[in-house]
Structures are given as C-alpha cells and as structure tokens.
Amino acid sequence: MQFTLFHLMPWPYLPGDFIDRESSAWVTYSNSNFDPERGRELYERYISELVAGEDLGFDVISVNEHHQTAYGLMPSPNLVAMALVQRTRAVKIAVMGNAIPLHDHPLRVVEEIGMLDLMSGGRIISGLVRGIGPEYHTFGVNPAYSEDRFREAHDLMIAAWTRPGPFSWDGEHYQVRYVNPWPLPLQKPHPPIWIPTQGSTSTLRWVAENDHSLFQTFAPLEQIERTSAAFRQFVTEYGHEPDPMKMGWSLPVYVGKDDETAMAEIAPHVEYLYRELVHRPFQGFLPPGYVARESFTKVMQTRGAISSERPTAELLDSRSQIIVGGPETVARRLREAAERTGVGILAPLLQVGTMNAELTRASTLRFAEHVMPKLREFVPEAAERSAVRR
Amino acid sequence: MANLPLGDVGAARLLPYTGPGDAKATVVFLHDEESSVPEGLLAALQERGTVVAPVHPGFGDAPRPAWVKTVRDIADYELDVIDEAGPAPLVLVGSSFGGWVAAELALRLSQRVRGVLLLGPLGLHVQDELIADHWFRTPQQRARLLYEDPMKAPQVGIEESVANDESMARYGWNPRLVDPALAPRLRRLSAPVRILWGEAERFVPASHAEAWLAALPDASSARVPGSGHFLAYEARESVLAELDDLIGRTATGA
C-alpha cells in the first residue's frame, strides 16, 4: 500500500459556544475572528507537520483547497505546495485542489502545476475538484454550471498539456485564441491526476472514462466499499484494468498508545471537526444546481434521517468513518478496510480538528513506525476477485 | 386547461376565459420561482380573460434549450408562446422572477401591450442595494425572509422546488437576480405599469420600488398590507382588484 499524509490546516480556535452563537463556520463567520498572529504560527506548525511526513516514510504529502472558512487555511493549495517543494527532497506532493470551476482561468492552473512540477523535479500529483457548495457563495460562481465548467476546464487543461501549442479553444465556458502554456510540466504527458469525490455516479463514470485516480474522502466504510465496487465496474466498462493504486481513501486516523486510552484522547478533536468545523446551513452545502436534479431530490427526501444524528467520535468510529485505536488495532482495521474496498492508497488525516502539535506528532509517529510497516507490502486485490477466490 | 401544441417552444398553457359574456382581456401570466402553475391564481385570472401562462424554460417540468441562459433569452424564447394567443392586445402580469420576465417581454412586444402588473419584481439593479440572499439559509430563515406568513406559501412537490431553485440560480446567481442593463432600456416600455410591493417585503430593498418608477415612463406603485415578497400568495385579493383596475383603465373598447 501507499501512504499519503493528508492535512486540512484547520482553525482550532472556535469558541465553546460557537454552534449556538454562529450560523456557519463557512462563508459568513466573520474574519474579525481571524487572528493573524495565530495564523502565522499555524502555518509554520502545519507546514512542518506535512514536511515531517517525508522522513517518516510517507509516499505522498497532500494539501487541499477551501475558502472563507475555519475548516481549513489553504485557499491556495499551490502556494502551500510550493512551500513544501522548497522544504522536501523526494516525497511526492498531492495538490488536492485545484477547484478549477471556481477560478478564472484553468490555464493559470496549468501554468502553476507546470511550475510546481518543474521545481519539484516531477513530484507533483494534480488533484482536480469542483470546489464544495459553500465556495459557490464565496466567489459568486454559478453552481448550476459547476459540473459543466469543471469538465470543460479539465478537458482544456489536458489539451494544454498534451497538444502542441498554440491552438485555439472554442468551448462553451472558455474561449481562448492562443493556448500555448510555458512552462510545461516535467512529468509526461502530465502529472498524475487524482479526483477527490464523495462518489456520485456521474463522477465515478467520468473518472473511469478518463482513466484518472479516484480519491474518496471522509465517508463511512460501507459507502467507500460500495463506491469502490461501482468505480471498478465503470473502469472495466471503459476498457481499463482496475488498479488498487489508482484508488485512494482519506479519513481521520488516531493512533494512541493502546485501545483503552485512544478514544478518550481523540474524541473532542474529532467532534470539533465533525461539528464546529462543518457547521453551516445544509442548504449552503448544496447550492441550487450544484448536483443533478435527481440526486438533489433524493438528498432532500432523506435529509431528516442524516442530520438528526449527533456525530460522536464513537459513532464515527463504529462506521469506520474514522479509525481510532492502538497501533495493532489501527493496522488491523485499515488492512480489513483495504481488503473490503480494494483501495491501495491510504491518506490518513493525522492532525484532526483541535489536536495540538504534541498529540499530532505522537499519533503520526505511531502511524509511521507501527502501522505503515505492517501494511507496506500488502496490496489489496479488487474486492470482488478476492471474494471469488475465498 | 389545454396544452398548446408548441413543438420545441416548450411547456405553455392556454387557458380559456371562464367569466360571463366576452373576455375583457388576454392576460399573459409570468410565473414566479415558487410555483410554475399556481392553479388557484390562474383560475382567478381566467375569470377575467383568456390566459396565456408559459412555464419558463427549466422551471417545473419545462425543458430548457441549451442557448437559454438569461432572462433576456427567456423573453425571446417565450415570444413564440405568446404569438399563439393571437393578435389581441395583452395585459402582462408577472410575479417576482416573472415580473422580471414580464418587463423584458413588454419591451419586445411594445405596441401590443395594454398594461403591465408587476408583483414584487426582481431584475432591476440598484447600486449597493442588493436583493437579500435567500440561498445561504435554512428553510426556516428563508421562509421568514420571503413571507409575512410562511403558511401561505404554495404547496409544491420536492421535484418542482428543486427544478425552480436550480433555474433561479442558473438565470440569477450572479449578478444576484438583477440585470444591470435592464434599467437603461425600460424607458422604451411605454404602456402603463402598476407595481405592487408587500408591506412586509424583506427580500427586495425598498429602493428598488423607487428605481422602477424612475426608469419607467408611465408607472405607479403601491404597498399592499398583509404580504411579504410574494403578493400572489399573500395578497391575492388585492392583486386581482389591481388587475381589474388596470384592465378597466386600459380598455380598448374592442
């Protein structure tokens, strides 16, 4: 298996009465609550935590992109990636933005990924995302065209990396007379592309059709398993070979000294992530037109059941939406999860919510020293094939 | 209720006159974002005249041709629907989003328009006077913003409300529910325009009422008690009385 050290760079200073007092940690929570001095310290600390991943043996360190939110301090994943490029030597760096429909222009992303890839000596993985619902409120980009824009921006990027320029692009959303980016990336035909998703059918199909890597985030194991199976099906339908190393899964992981103490140590930090940091009106998460009408209607019909459950750490752990325990337990559960899902890239989020530097370091060290070695040589087979052999 | 055979013109309804004697008007009703077919209101309009009620592309179950992306496109598209009503002079009634469509249609139909009744119309840009955000809100907050009495909101199915909300976003996400190029063109809308606002209007700033009056050559406005943004649902009697008055004032004698 491969290991990606994932980070969200959260703002850990939301007050205790935040949920009662504020309507959202996204879009509208006033930036008068942002303390630049604390922000400076957080960047230094969080970047160090990612850089440490190289010497600890992670294959990839990963940044992401969110805007106007306490959830994460990486509005520009490319800038954080550049800081990492300068402080590391060999580890790969996954940029799990860029939210291409949110920004004009995709060719700017083509240029920046090209620069990062060259300056890192070909160590960049280019994630491409639509940006989540609230971000359509922050930029004024029309959510009803989000998916169309994403797909066209992607096509334009691939063309810009693979077709000799200059050529013209006469699209629905982008019209460019001269597509001719300088510089081009080091990796050919372009850096690997990872698509983070919650797993809508149309996205799975699209990722399979384009032969990119699928990267699932923060869902219960049962859903990861279902989505992975559907994805492998689509990969086969499009004439490709399902490959565990083109499937990733990101989830919060806490490795304590032992099973007895781990849950109590992590619970408040995980619950801060799943309560305070995702606090927002449900409607803000799914702006109109952001997903297809049929999916939207389904969500509206099932919403009551989902939102009534308080996301305690125990509940999340029982669904393997997070994995908590001593080193033996975490290794065993991750291996079982990998067997069930056929996912070959694990991306633990090891700094979770309000975890301080000390707690983060301890859990990260235990993961690197006692969990990774147990799983390193293991490559999950596609789940249904192993089922047949049993 | 008869559906017009409109080919690719899309969903529209031509509703016959149901009152006594001859119809006093041909009423074009441009629906709002709450309900593409507000049955009770349409029935009341039918008592006053023949009714043409297009469903805007993308709303309800109406298809949307890919080229229709703006309210101006909607107006161009719906001209074909309105032609089906024949040559009679028209009274246009538009509610909220439909008020914006009505203004664009009136500019295009020009001499054929007898009068226009706008109910809390969207569409006019007033510098720094933004229409309130009803999207980054809980359903309860949204209902309190839009209605004086949220219980009066029309009952529509989830599928219709998802379609309507998506379409509103498609046409009006940014700039938010306005067209900066509408006001400079309104001077060509020479027909009498009556504009109604709810006294409890919290969605569209009061300054928009003044801006409509300033932009139109022949317009008047009134505030209606007992209603928030959607007069079509909260002040139906007042709306119908105003419509009767407009029909009477603009009678052609034909």
Per-residue pLDDT reduced to its tens digit, B130-187? 999 999 999 999 999 999 999 999 999 999 999 999 999 999 999 999 999 999 999 9
Contact A293 B173 (CB under 8 A): no
- Min Cα separation B29/chain A (Å): 25
Shortest Cα distance, chain A CAs vs residue B164, angstroms: 9
Q: Is the pLDDT of residue B61 over 80?
A: yes
Whether chain A has a CB inside 8 Å of the CB on B166: the answer is yes
For residues B81 and B9, what is the distance between their CA atoms, to the nearest angstrom?
Answer: 7
Q: Which residues pair with A149 in a beta bridge?
A: none
pLDDT, position A104:
85
How far from A202 is each of A207, A216, A227, A285, A295, CA to CA, in Å?
9, 15, 12, 19, 10
Q: When comparing pLDDT for B6 and B180, which is higher?
A: B180
Give the Cα separation of B157 and B175 in Å (integer). 28
**Look-up: residue for tokens 């869902």?**
A219
Q: How high does pLDDT run on average in chain A?
A: 94
Rounded distance between C-alpha atoms, residue A235 and residue A207, angstroms: 8
pLDDT tier at A385, thresholds 50, 70, 90? low
For residues B204 and B128, the answer to whether their CB atoms sit within 8 Å is no
Find residues 145-204 of chain A whose CB sits inside 8 Å of chain B: 145
Q: For residues B126 and A7, give the distance between their C-alpha atoms in angstroms, rounded to a whole number.
A: 43
Hey, are the CB atoms on A282 and B138 less than 8 Å from each other?
Answer: yes
Other beta carbons less than 10 A from residue A23's beta carbon? 17
The residue that leads in pLDDT, B24 or A46, is A46
3-class DSSP state for residue A198? coil
Long-range contacts: A171-174, Cβ < 8 Å, 24+?
A172/A148, A173/A145, A173/A148, A173/A149, A174/A105, A174/A106
Look at residue B220 in the predicted model and tell me its pLDDT. 98
- Please give the Cα distance from A137 to A165 (Å, whole number): 35
Residue A108: is its pLDDT beyond 70?
Answer: yes
Q: Is B171:B70 a contact under the CB 8 Å cutoff?
A: yes
CA-based nearest residue to A117, from A82, A88, A87, A89: A82
> What is the token pair recorded at A42?
């957080």
A343-363 burial, b for 16+ CB within 10 Å, e for fewer? bbbbbbbbbbbbbeeebbbbb
CA distance B172 to chain A (A): 8
Residue A30 Cα, gap to closest chain B Cα (Å): 15
Contacts of B141 in chain A (CB under 8 A): 281
DSSP string, chain B: -EE---GGG--EEEE---SSSS---EEEEE--SS-S--HHHHHHHHTTSEEEEEPPTTSTT----TT--SHHHHHHHHHHHHHTT-SS-EEEEEETHHHHHHHHHHHHHGGGEEEEEEES--EE--TT-PPP--SSS-HHHHHHHH-SSGGGSPP--HHHHHHHHHHHHHHHTTTTTEETTTGGGGGG--S-EEEEEETT--SS-THHHHHHHHH-SSEEEEEETT-SS-HHHH-HHHHHHHHHHHHHHT----
How confident is the model over A118-151, as pLDDT tens digits? 999 999 999 999 999 999 999 999 999 999 999 9
Pull the structure tokens for residue A294. 């049929």
Identify residue B89 by its one-letter amino acid code: P
Q: What is the pLDDT of residues A143-176, one digit of tens each?
A: 999 999 999 999 999 999 999 999 999 999 999 9
Q: Which residue of B has its CA nearest to A294?
A: B159
Query: CB B136 to CB A141 under 8 A?
Result: no
User: What local confidence, expressed as pLDDT, does residue B11 receive?
Assistant: 54
pLDDT band, very low/low/confident/very high, at A325 (cuts 50, 70, 90): very high
Return the pLDDT at A290.
94
Residue A29 pLDDT greater than 80, yes or no: yes
pLDDT band for A387, please (50, 70, 90 cuts): very low
Question: What residues in B contact A136, CB-CB < 8 Å?
Answer: 173
Q: Does B187 touch chain A (CB under 8 A)?
A: no
What letter would DSSP give residue A280?
S
pLDDT at A382: 62
Indicate if the pLDDT at residue B67 is higher than 60.
yes
Spell B223-246 as b/e; 16+ CB within 10 A means b: ebeebbbbbbbbbbebbbebbeeb
Q: Assess A57–B contact: CB distance below 8 Å, yes or no.
A: no
Please answer yes or no on whether B138 and A281 come within 8 Å at the CB atom: yes
Please report the pLDDT score of residue B13 as a whole number. 80
Fill in the amino acid letter for A32.
Answer: S
Cβ–Cβ gap A283/B174 under 8 Å: no
Please give the residue of chain B at the shortest CA–CA distance from A296: B162
Beta bridge partners of B169: none
Beta carbons of B135 and A24 less than 8 Å apart: no
**Model pTM above 0.90:** yes
